[in-house]
A and B are shown apart, each in its own frame.
Chain A
Amino acid sequence: MLNGLHIEGDSPLHRLPARGKLVLLFVTAVGLFLVSDLRVLVPALALSTGLLLSTGVGVREAFRRTRFVLFTVLILAAANYYLHSPHEALVVFCRLAALVLLAAAVTATTGISAFMDEVTRLLMPLERRGLVQAADVSLAVGLVIRFVPEILARYRDIADAHRARGLPVRPLTTLVPLIILTLKDADTIAMAIDARGFRRH
């Protein structure tokens, strides 16, 4: 996600401000769901693919990053094929795949810091009404993105520990220690946030 998948570069998408990219993504998403004409959706999919590749990500890496979501999109399209028609399946596939690839392009070209700034700005009206602390919400978003690799690494460690002890890797016996250790880490991370003065109030 974001910085985990961010690519340094100087493509047009890299140069576009984060807000512009997020607005583009939002407008495109709405547009794609309003259109069912394959004469629009197929070029949209081609354009999204081109945009993603223009970031310098490379075909293999682009596929690696999007394959899981694209596989899900494929399942949805298959369901539509059986339940509706081949045309409907193609519409669903082109629409969702175009969106996934465009989102991947935005992700590849947007740093987490810029993204957090936009989240903060977006939530400022709510902060003014006393509903949220905008900076805290954006910090929470940043934390999720930052610690996903840590949690995955911890999961792998727990699974390896199971194997080393000759135990089967079962969801219950891996998830329980994972949750406990993650919560324990969360206390330290909260303390670190205070120690580094990241909360503004």
Chain B
Amino acid sequence: MDIVFTAATVRYGGRDARPPLHLALCERRMGVVGLNGSGKTTMARLINGLVKPSEGAVTVEGLDTVTDEKAARGKTGFIFQNPQHQMILPVLAEDIAFGLKNRGFTKAEIAERTEAILARFDIAHLARRRVHELSGGETQLAAIASVLVTGPDLLILDEPTNQLDLRNRAMIERTLAGLPEQVIVITHDLALLDGFDRVLVFHAGRLAADGRPAEAVAAYREIAAC
């Protein structure tokens, strides 16, 4: 799926939060790194229309995130830094089903898809668990399942290994590696980007480097050392 930024600019309170961004993304697995406040999350939120460009445009598979907002958003799934915040219903299976219900699926389809996504991520045993009782790793998997059940082509994850222990971090790494969907990962966990197709480095709102993981991470380390 092609994601295209055409002179996309975001203004907060009259000032440019970032300079116009020209960018085309089509690789299967992409990483985004940068110091805190460098514009990584804003860039990611532009893709699914959570942030609207003040000028310029962002398109997802040719769909403008402003004029075709709903259709464009349907193509992207977003996992927030704290996935607990996006689990809207108290029980996991009901939360997953709720996303489908809102898209007009029948009861039988909802049950079938919910069961299938739980099985896909090997979390069927968590189906009736209360989401606030899930562990960090379980919550990440649950959030990914609840987003992917609606069938987006692209999954954006904002710091998915943040606050996870080593075992859960490895589990998320394996999960991401096995996803057939296109993936964009915003992260400070540089080892997570090994094997990715492309890594973008943001600094002070600008795209400072863009390339294969080794080169991009080296550029990021230089920026961070300054």
Chain A nearest CB, measured from B56 CB (Å): 21
Q: What does DSSP make chain A's interface, helix, strand, loop or mixed?
A: helix
CB < 8 Å: which of A2, A149, A150, A198 contacts B98? A198
Binds B, one of A35-43, A168-176, A188-196: A188-196
Q: Are B90 and A196 interface neighbours, CB within 8 A? A: no
- A112 and B94 in contact (CB under 8 A), knowing A3-B89, A139-B88, A197-B74? yes
- A200 and B90 in contact (CB under 8 A), knowing A8-B128, A189-B85, A195-B50? no
With an 8 Å Cβ cutoff, the count of chain B residues facing the other chain is 31
Any chain B CB within 8 A of the CB of A162? Answer: no
Any chain A CB within 8 A of the CB of B132? Answer: yes
Most buried by B among A8, A113, A149: A113
Could you tell me the distance between the alpha carbons of A195 and B77 in the complex, rounded to whole angstroms? 7
Report the nearest B residue to A150, measured CB to CB: B132
With an 8 Å Cβ cutoff, the count of chain A residues facing the other chain is 28
- A192 and B86 in contact (CB under 8 A), knowing A6-B91, A198-B98? yes
What is the interface of chain B, defined by CB distance below 8 A to chain A? 48, 50, 70, 73-74, 77-78, 80, 82, 84-91, 94, 97-99, 101-103, 128, 130-132, 146-147, 150
14 CB contacts below 8 A, A to B, read A3-B91, A3-B94, A6-B90, A112-B90, A113-B97, A188-B85, A189-B86, A192-B86, A195-B73, A196-B78, A196-B88, A196-B99, A197-B70, A200-B102
5 nearest A-B pairs in the assembled complex, by CB-CB distance: A3-B90, A192-B86, A195-B78, A113-B94, A149-B132
